[in-house]
Structure 1
Amino acid sequence: MNKNSYSHSTRNGRRARRKQHIPKKLALLSLFASTLLLVGGGVYIAHALQSRSTAKETVDDQDNDYNKKEALLLEKIRQDQKEAALASTEQTEVTDKVQTLLYDPVQKGAIPRFSALKNELATMIDTVKRKHSNQQPIKIVGQVKMSNVTDQLKNYQPLLTIYSWDEKNRSWSEKTEPGATSDFVNQKNNQELTLTDLFTSEANLLAVQQVIKQKLLDDSPDGNTVIDSILSMPNMSLKNTSFTYHPDKISFNLPENATGSKEVSLAYREIAEYVNPEFVDQASIKDALVMPLDPNKKYISLTFDDGPNPKTTPKLLDILKEKGVKATFFMLGQNVVKNEAIVKRADEEGHEVASHSYSHPQLTAVDAERIKTEVQNTDKVIYHAIGKLPTDFRPPYGAVDPDAAAIISKPIIQWSVDSQDWQSHSIDKIIQRIHDTEYNDAIILMHDIYPETVDAVPIVIDRLRAEGYEIIPTKQLLGNKAKPMHMYYGSTDERPIQ
């Protein structure tokens, strides 16, 4: 064998061996890759199985957490109902993720307007259901809630409590929605609250009507343009007046009038002297009631009729100012028109400006239309002068009967001591007459149109004070609670006009 043949054979052998090694390497690589795939796949499968198991455990934990908190919530809701003042029965309804728990009072007959309350409650529940997105569970708790306004007055009102599941915080949120309808019930007779409950008499309601008229004028941009309509409003009555009770105020429906107002609301503190405290929260009239006069002191009132007079009334006002005395002026409308500045001064200096009719007729001897004209025209001119309606009235000659009193619709302030200045026109006799007839709680009648009366006043004041009297206006003497259809001779001498 030559050298070349050997070399060639050797090379061929090496090539053959290389060809034999390639499949082996490929097989090894394939085996290695398969092993990796098997190992990796196993790891992946194991991890996937582990993750799936963990996720399932998490879901199970969350479900358990939700179920536990749901159970606690339902337990709380039912416990609250057991402790509620109004005993009830539960009706439950579940639709998708909405659970409704409706609580019906056991004693429905104790709630006069139960049907209206239940209908509103049903409407409220339907509204919540329509708005619910169904993404998270909610629970709707509907009930008629009872609350005590006073010992004698209870309120029944629809109430929704909505509990929504907050997935992020894993908790229930709470929202309360009260209904618009309230049923206020007098516990004495288990009937709806009435104006008779609140004000006890037509007289008190007429006193409230005076407050309403003044409020309408105060709220008007120009009271003088609507005063006729306001003064002509028909008198309110306990049976025929529509109202809405609120815990802190009362709203009255008004007849059609020039102000355009359909309703007026008064806080109870504005009418504290006329409202029955059994049916209003005491906090709403706290500090509004007038403190009674000191029983250990003596009080007396000076009143002046028939003015104002341009010559005598300003001098009288000077004297009263110097002496620090407040009085009551029962003015004639025809004199107010001619002396508005004097009327305004009397009001600004703290005196009470009251009505004595327009032209001084005997009201029991004229017809109803004349009485109405006399009263309303005087109200108008006094309002024009001082921006306030007179609240008290003294009939000329003290003459009044039930028909006239109903038209006047103001407290009737009489007198218990007559100075008889209209008869004597004597300073000394005026002073002596008052001295001989004065007593604690008396209302003294004088006239500011007589010069002799004005000259006697400073001496009268000094003597009264020397005898221990405190001189105050009649409104203060009567405790700011005088009412129409009654006449007053003093704070302890009140007489219904019958």
Structure 2
Amino acid sequence: MDRKKQPRGTRNSRRERNKQTFPKKVALISVLGVSFILICGGVYATKIMQPKPKEVSKVKDDSLYKQKEALLLEKIREAKKQEELQSTEQEKTEGSIQTLIYEPVTTDTIPQLPTIKTELTILIEEAKKNLPKETAAKIVGYVKKIKTNEQVIGYQTTVDTYTWDSKKEDWSEKTVLGKNVAYVNQKTKQPLTLQDIFISEANLLAIYQVLQQKLLDESPDGNSVIDGVLNMPKISLDGTAFTYYPDKISLELPENPTGKKEITLPYKEIANYINPEFVDPDAIKDAVSAPLDPDKKYISLTFDDGPNPETTPRLLDILKEKDVKATFFMLGQNVVKNEELVKRVAEEGHEVASHSYSHPQLTGVDEQIVKDEVQQTDKAIYHAIGKIPTDFRPPYGAVNTEVAKIINKPIIQWSVDSQDWESHNAEAIIKRIHDTAYHDTIILMHDIHPETVDAVATVIDHLRGEGYEILPSKKLLGNKAKPLHMYYGSKDERLVQ
């Protein structure tokens, strides 16, 4: 379909309008273009007229950096000159990292030096790896001297890392210490040993009892692991690995049911069994038992073969009334039948000790029976009061070296025998003790005999009348009794033979 033709007048009119609009558009574009050029030119002119702060600042930073770098190096080197442990410097620079290593000059006083140097190299390499990239740093490796006391000196690898902080315009410092300290006995110039610290195997065996109890205390259910703990192989001076600290010691443990591989004992818990020359004095301050007053008379009351439900409660009443603490050497077979009575003995401040399970003469039976007699009683007493007995009185006083090693507890004998087991007479018991008692001795009685209980109040009164202070046996012995030794009094200690 053909389009209708527009009138000629209409087409002419449109051309005229277009002719008039075009010059206006050109003018507008020109104005915008000129404006844009002027703006850009102004910005550029302003920019090139401003100073260059980055270049000036960089020069300033370099100058400050060099100044503080020189001060830091001077400080480091001066500090090393002032240290008691003299050393020589080895310097190495790799890019922006400068390493200063200070090795001790006197090497014969540090037998572990090769190990120390190896650890120092490892620490330095770790410090380098941990640095941010392209960071100016100073790594200073040296051996730090630690003086515990006159007899023990420790040496510890140390790495100080200084990194430049451009924002703070100063050095930041970080120190990393080696995991191990090499301790040296200043008498022998050799690495510290367990013998230095504990002196004797007997003292270490006393510590063994402490760590057994600690394992049980830290176990969620001591009764479930007590067999394994009691049967754990003993530690020894030569065969036990350890980590020494000025205030405590960590001992490697044999395989045991608790799963623990080591145990840490503060010296204050074992102060009576260590050599004070080799520990920090503050670690055992007020922990070592004070000696008994030499101007006083002391004596100890001990009771064997109980507990007995008929006689022991009455005895406890008398001791409570007289304010006397005693030591009870109990038979395991009686403990299992009278647990509440055992608890009462412990709760009232008396010592609970072992007298075997069924009262055999231990020197006349085989080793397994000795072991069973000791361990069954340990278990029975632990089940009753949560503590393993630390002291042992062998039935009839019969003991030898082999038996003592199995018992692994201090052997508490006696020096005054009341002979209550023979007389069964209160007056005879009172007279016997009166005639034979003397200073620093241990009296033997039995809480299973009614006549003994009848005599106790008078015995206490007579002893006090003669000036005696009555103590439980452990306290009489200064809390220092140890396995493989037997004691008849505070001044009569003998090695079991």
Measured in 1, the distance between the counterparts of 2:47 and 2:383 equals: 97
Moved more, 96-105 or 121-130: 121-130
Tell me what 1:368 maps to: 367
What secondary structure does 1:487 align onto? strand
Tell me what 2:490 maps to: 491
Unaligned segments of structure 1, at least 5 residues? 1-36
User: 5 Å matches for 1:358-397?
Assistant: 358-397=357-396
**Aligned partner of 1:370: which letter?**
I
Number of residue pairs the alignment of both structures matches: 455
User: 5 Å matches for 1:5-24?
Assistant: none
CA RMSD of aligned residues (A): 1.7
Residues 250-276 of structure 1, C-alpha deviations (whole Å, 9 max, x = no match): 111111121112111111111011011
Tell me what 1:229 maps to: 228
Measured in 2, the distance between the counterparts of 1:404 and 1:96 equals: 70
Tell me what 1:184 maps to: 183
Measured in 2, the distance between the counterparts of 1:56 and 1:257 equals: 70
What secondary structure does 1:278 align onto? helix
Tell me what 1:413 maps to: 412
User: 5 Å matches for 1:271-286?
Assistant: 271-286=270-285
Tell me what 1:318 maps to: 317
What's the TM-score once normalised by structure 2's chain length?
0.88
- State the shift of 1:65 in Å: 2.1
Residues 434-488 of structure 1, C-alpha deviations (whole Å, 9 max, x = no match): 1111112111110111111100000001111111111110111111111011111
User: 5 Å matches for 1:205-284?
Assistant: 205-284=204-283
Measured in 2, the distance between the counterparts of 1:59 and 1:149 equals: 49
User: 5 Å matches for 1:90-489?
Assistant: 90-489=89-488
**Aligned partner of 1:382: which letter?**
I
Residues 75-105 of structure 1, C-alpha deviations (whole Å, 9 max, x = no match): 1101111111211111111111111001111
Unaligned segments of structure 2, at least 5 residues? 1-40
What secondary structure does 2:475 align onto? helix
Asked whether the equivalents of residues 97 and 134 of structure 1 are also in contact (C-alpha less than 8 Å), the reply is: no
- State the shift of 1:336 in Å: 1.0
Measured in 2, the distance between the counterparts of 1:340 and 1:181 equals: 47
**Aligned partner of 1:410: which letter?**
K
Residues 149-179 of structure 1, C-alpha deviations (whole Å, 9 max, x = no match): 1211111111001111122222112111101
Measured in 2, the distance between the counterparts of 1:449 and 1:333 equals: 14
Moved more, 343-352 or 113-122: 113-122
Residues 1-56 of structure 1, C-alpha deviations (whole Å, 9 max, x = no match): xxxxxxxxxxxxxxxxxxxxxxxxxxxxxxxxxxxx9xx98x987x55xx35x765
Measured in 2, the distance between the counterparts of 1:258 and 1:346 equals: 30
Taking only the aligned residue pairs, the percentage that are identical comes to 62
Measured in 2, the distance between the counterparts of 1:291 and 1:201 equals: 21
Measured in 2, the distance between the counterparts of 1:415 and 1:371 equals: 21
- State the shift of 1:301 in Å: 0.6
- State the shift of 1:136 in Å: 3.1
Tell me what 1:72 maps to: 71
Measured in 2, the distance between the counterparts of 1:431 and 1:449 equals: 17
Asked whether the equivalents of residues 372 and 407 of structure 1 are also in contact (C-alpha less than 8 Å), the reply is: yes
**Aligned partner of 1:104: which letter?**
E
What secondary structure does 1:326 align onto? coil
What secondary structure does 2:108 align onto? helix
Residues 384-428 of structure 1, C-alpha deviations (whole Å, 9 max, x = no match): 111100000011111111111111110011111111111111111
Measured in 1, the distance between the counterparts of 2:221 and 2:394 equals: 30
- State the shift of 1:303 in Å: 0.3
Asked whether the equivalents of residues 120 and 181 of structure 1 are also in contact (C-alpha less than 8 Å), the reply is: no
Measured in 2, the distance between the counterparts of 1:132 and 1:409 equals: 55
Measured in 1, the distance between the counterparts of 2:47 and 2:82 equals: 58
**Aligned partner of 1:121: which letter?**
L
What secondary structure does 2:273 align onto? coil
- State the shift of 1:135 in Å: 3.8
What secondary structure does 1:156 align onto? strand
Tell me what 2:13 maps to: none
Asked whether the equivalents of residues 87 and 105 of structure 1 are also in contact (C-alpha less than 8 Å), the reply is: yes
What secondary structure does 1:108 align onto? coil
Residues 197-245 of structure 1, C-alpha deviations (whole Å, 9 max, x = no match): 1100000000000001101111111111111111111221111111111
Asked whether the equivalents of residues 141 and 161 of structure 1 are also in contact (C-alpha less than 8 Å), the reply is: yes
Tell me what 1:26 maps to: none
Measured in 2, the distance between the counterparts of 1:363 and 1:72 equals: 76
Measured in 2, the distance between the counterparts of 1:280 and 1:484 equals: 23
Measured in 2, the distance between the counterparts of 1:135 and 1:257 equals: 52
- State the shift of 1:365 in Å: 1.4
Measured in 2, the distance between the counterparts of 1:169 and 1:257 equals: 55
What secondary structure does 2:356 align onto? coil
Asked whether the equivalents of residues 96 and 134 of structure 1 are also in contact (C-alpha less than 8 Å), the reply is: no
